[in-house]
Amino acid sequence: MDKICVLIADDHTLFRKGIVKMLEAEEDMRVVGEAATGREALEQARELIPDVILMDIKMPGLDGVEATRTLRREMPHVGIIFCTMFEDDEFVFRGLQAGGRGYILKDADPETMLRAIRAVAHGESLLGPTIAQKVLRQLAALPGEEAGRTPFYDQLTPRELEVLKLIAVGRCNKEIAAALVLSEKTVKNHIANIFAKLQVYDRTQAMLYAIRKGLVKIE
């Protein structure tokens, strides 16, 4: 049986070593590396090609969110799970927009963490219970669409829909412009139109709308 190769990126040594000990007790998992910074996580991921990375958000220098954005561009097949003590909405949605496939808190029980690693290794997504509730609350808070009315996204042009999908997977304006061969000014105009048509106010709400409507999936 092929083992799930895991890289652990966390600047707290005791926590990192505890996770290593826990994972090495599992027959289907193998810890291939440890990193204490986002920069080290990038370097080791490029060298070791793990299946899954357990990524802390707050680390010295390059943080986990920025490291994840880079890894999603370079190694989209690697599943990244944010494992952190932060459950503020800002951290949760920055992590999901950056391309994280899972988000669990450090005080989660071991079974939750193991389940998340196995799920992400098989191309699925898993959010811890507290985080899942946050996402559901945010989805419920988005503007509703009246029954029988044309969905908001049907008002988007094909180009605006392309931009929305890139927003939802965490691309910044510069990256969207490069991917679609547009100027950043044109991208900003498209985003303004998207917000108006979807009746949302920021990128996070646009991402959540796209997820709720099945236009994109966090995977």
| Residue environment code for 162-183, b if the CB has 16+ CB neighbours within 10 A, otherwise e | bbbebbbbbbebeebbeeeebe
Tell whether 28 is covered by a domain: yes
CATH code, 175: 1.10.10.10
Same domain? For 147 and 129 the reply is no
Neighbours of 130 (CB within 10 A): 14
Could you list the residue range(s) of the whole structural domain that residue 172 is in? 143-212
pLDDT in tens, 15-57: 999 999 999 999 999 999 999 999 999 999 999 999 999 999 8
- For residue 218, being part of any structural domain is answered with no
The dihedral of CA 60, 104, 17, 32: what is its sign? Answer: negative
pLDDT reported for residue 170: 67
Counting the structural domains of the chain, the total is: 2
pLDDT above 50: residue 95: yes
Q: Which residues pair with 35 in a beta bridge?
A: 9
